[in-house]
Amino acid sequence: MFDQIFGIHERALYAAADRVGVLATNIANADTPNYKARDLDFAAVLSGTSEAGGLPLVRTSAAHLPLAGAGEAGADLKYRIPYQPSLDGNTVEAPVEQAKFAENAMRYQTSLDFINRRISSLMTALTGQ
């Protein structure tokens, strides 16, 4: 029901929340030798597809944890190709990670604003004020 009300923004909110953890891990490991920077394929997460073509995860019992956001498609986590590889094998580039982090924060805020406006308009429709 909520995907009909909020559209793609619910999934985008979950994906952005998952992505911030991946980007923070990259930034934290900027000086770790041989660490490989990773990122979520945001478009694949939003479309609900995976290049791996694996089987989709499904809840088969009410006792199972609900699936949400990027956790549905772990195959969407990709290695980032560096612009300037370092000699120690680390592929984290701080300016790139910081830019991706800012972009992700903007996506998260945009989806959150849309959902908040949608809830506000629904409350107005229900209460008539």
Q: What DSSP string runs through 58-99?
A: ---STTSPPP-GGGG-GGGEEEPPPSS--TTS----HHHHHH
From the list 108, 128, 86, 129, the residue with the least C-alpha distance to 16 is 108
* C-alpha distances out from residue 16 to 41, 60, 67, 92, 97, Å: 11, 26, 15, 19, 14
Instruction: Note the pLDDT tens digit of each residue in 23-41.
Output: 999 999 999 999 999 998 8
Number of domains in the chain: 1
Predicted confidence at residue 126, as pLDDT, reads 86
Instruction: Note the pLDDT tens digit of each residue in 58-100.
Output: 666 676 655 554 444 454 789 989 998 899 999 999 999 999 9
Residue 24 structural domain: 2-127
